[in-house]
Amino acid sequence: MKKQFIAGNWKMNLTMGEARSLAEKLCDESDNSDAVVDIGVFPAFVFLRDVCEILRGSKVYVGAQNMYLEKSGAFTGEVSGAMLRDVGCTHVIIGHSERRTIFRETNSMINSKLKAALSCGLKPIFCVGEKQEERDAERTNEVVGNQLSEGLAGLTSEQANELTIAYEPVWAIGTGKTATPEQANEVHSFIRNTIKSKYENDTAQCIRIQYGGSVNAENADNLLGQPEIDGALVGGASLEPGSFLDIVSAAVRLS
The residues carrying an active-site annotation are 96, 168
- Report the distance separating Cα 100 and Cα 82, nearest Å: 23
Task: Check: CB of residue 78 under 8 Å from CB of residue 106.
Answer: no
- Residue ranges of E strands in the chain: 4-9, 37-42, 60-64, 91-94, 123-128, 164-167, 208-211, 231-234
- Report the distance separating Cα 223 and Cα 22, nearest Å: 25
Task: Check: CB of residue 113 under 8 Å from CB of residue 88.
Answer: no
- Report the distance separating Cα 232 and Cα 214, nearest Å: 10
Beta partners for residue 234, in sequence order: 8
Beta partners for residue 39, in sequence order: 6, 60
Nearest residue to 219 via CA among 178, 171, 187? 178
